[in-house]
Structure 1
Amino acid sequence: MLLGACSSLQPQVDAPAAVVSDSTKWEPDIVAFEQQDAVVRRMPGGIVFVGSSSIRLWESLHEDFPGVPIINRGFGGSRVRDSTWYADRIVIPYQPRAVVFYAGDNDLFEGRTPQQVRDDFEAFVDKVRASLPEVRIAFIAIKPSPSRVTLLPQVREANALVREYAKGVGGVDYLDVFLPMLDAQGHPRPELFVEDQLHLNRSGYAIWAGVVRPWLAGL
């Protein structure tokens, strides 16, 4: 009886829950994109910008790249794997000639490792290339945000891993916006960010445009 009583005091361990992708939480955003598609003409051969809030908030895209048929499919707070999850709905249907991708800082903030970020981006490339084998893909380097300065070592490592991966894959390129966003001491430049010190202001986007523009011109 004593043993039974003692065993009844042992902490209960819950059985592991079934793994379900949390990317589905972005479904309303994706449905909204698809509703836009119903009234906006698709643009085969265009350029899809996809990724997290830094893409979604790039309101000057069309003026930064005049004459370029751009489709903005950024959805705020998303991670690399979220764009992969929805690629067959917000990238592939447009039959773009190129994709400009940005995500990764949210991943690292949530605890993903630099290696996982690299692997997740590779999965994105593989999924898009399975349907669009000739599409060019550019990875915009993970930015150095002042509000997440403690993550800079992981950001540097993730960027280096993606850069090395891109070197070995034809038609995939790494666009370095990281270094231009640092000051002479190697610190993030706060003047490139809005008040939250996480998202870019017009000056920050001007740096991004200056890096992306030559890549687009070379397509």
Structure 2
Amino acid sequence: MRKISFYFLLAFAIQSIALAQQPVPFENEIKAFEEQDKKAAPPKDAILFTGSSSIRLWESLKTDFPDKVVLNRGFGGSTLPDVVHFADRAIIPYKPKQIVIYVGENDVASGTVTAQEVRDRFVTLFTKIRKSLPKTPIVFISMKPSPSRRKYLPITQEANKLIKDYLAKQSRTDYLDVYTPMLDANGRIRGELFRADSLHMTPKGYEVWTEKLKPLLK
């Protein structure tokens, strides 16, 4: 009996060590940001963009807002819990002038969360940022209507509304609706705004975002 218990505990310990040694998702991306900051100090009082691949792939960010100091700290594939997890390293230390957030779409696409849960995850992120940066304005870019995730659009729309309603009660915040302008006059998704994968955006997609976001930037 003692031998069985010993081997059970040994197996459990080995498994625990193995799990502990597994890399945290997106750790390498965050380390890359930190290494980049060591080589060249990030700009002060920048407008920080964070979130998932729609932010990470915004290659024209600086040229789209030439009169603004912007900093891209998006990491592709991230969910709200990922952004919460790395906020102490990828958002808060920069003490930005303003924060622009696009995240949540990957949460919905997991097929495991409700709109309310997405909203609650966003509130967790918002609360964490506000605790450290209470006066920093925050813009949330609504989740977009990606064609490849059509079956999740009802949840996307509901989650967008819940987040919009939450932000309406908070100070120094803006909710940017990009869902509606990415539809045509008949309510169909504008295919020319998306790449061949029907998920990530073409330059035309970013043009829509840029036009809508410009008036909200400080």
2:157 alignment partner AA: R
User: What CA distance in whole angstroms lies between the structure 2 residues aligned with 1:66 and 1:85?
Assistant: 31
* Correspondence for 1:89: 89
User: What CA distance in whole angstroms lies between the structure 2 residues aligned with 1:30 and 1:215?
Assistant: 27
Instruction: Say whether the 8 Å CA contact 1:23–1:82 is kept in structure 2.
Output: no
Instruction: Provide Cα deviations, 1:153-205, integer angstroms capped at 9, x if missing partner.
Output: 11110100010000000012110111000112212111100110100000000
Instruction: Provide Cα deviations, 1:18-71, integer angstroms capped at 9, x if missing partner.
Output: 9x9x99211111001100010122222111100000000000000000021111
User: What CA distance in whole angstroms lies between the structure 1 residues aligned with 2:151 and 2:23?
Assistant: 26
* Correspondence for 2:180: 179
User: What CA distance in whole angstroms lies between the structure 1 residues aligned with 2:104 and 2:59?
Assistant: 20
Instruction: Say whether the 8 Å CA contact 1:23–1:85 is kept in structure 2.
Output: no
User: What CA distance in whole angstroms lies between the structure 2 residues aligned with 1:44 and 1:126?
Assistant: 23
User: What CA distance in whole angstroms lies between the structure 2 residues aligned with 1:109 and 1:149?
Assistant: 10
Deviates more, 1:33-42 or 1:53-62: 33-42
Instruction: Report matched runs for 1:16-165 at 5 Å.
Output: 24-110=24-110, 111-165=112-166
User: What CA distance in whole angstroms lies between the structure 2 residues aligned with 1:74 and 1:28?
Assistant: 13
Q: Secondary structure at the match of 1:71?
A: strand
User: What CA distance in whole angstroms lies between the structure 2 residues aligned with 1:73 and 1:162?
Assistant: 22
The runs of at least 4 consecutive aligned structure 1 residues that moved more than 3 Å come to none
Residue 121 of structure 1 and its aligned partner are, at CA, apart by 1.1
Gaps of 5+ in 2: 1-15
Gaps of 5+ in 1: 1-17
* Correspondence for 1:196: 197
For this pair of structures, how many residues does the alignment match? Answer: 200
Change (3 A) 1:59 1:149: same
Instruction: Say whether the 8 Å CA contact 1:138–1:174 is kept in structure 2.
Output: yes
User: What CA distance in whole angstroms lies between the structure 1 residues aligned with 2:186 and 2:104?
Assistant: 24
User: What CA distance in whole angstroms lies between the structure 1 residues aligned with 2:39 and 2:113?
Assistant: 37
Instruction: Provide Cα deviations, 1:82-106, integer angstroms capped at 9, x if missing partner.
Output: 1111011011111101100001111
Q: Which TM-score applies when normalising by structure 2?
A: 0.87
User: What CA distance in whole angstroms lies between the structure 1 residues aligned with 2:50 and 2:113?
Assistant: 20
User: What CA distance in whole angstroms lies between the structure 2 residues aligned with 1:134 and 1:24?
Assistant: 31
User: What CA distance in whole angstroms lies between the structure 1 residues aligned with 2:170 and 2:103?
Assistant: 19
* Correspondence for 2:209: 208
Q: Secondary structure at the match of 1:147?
A: helix
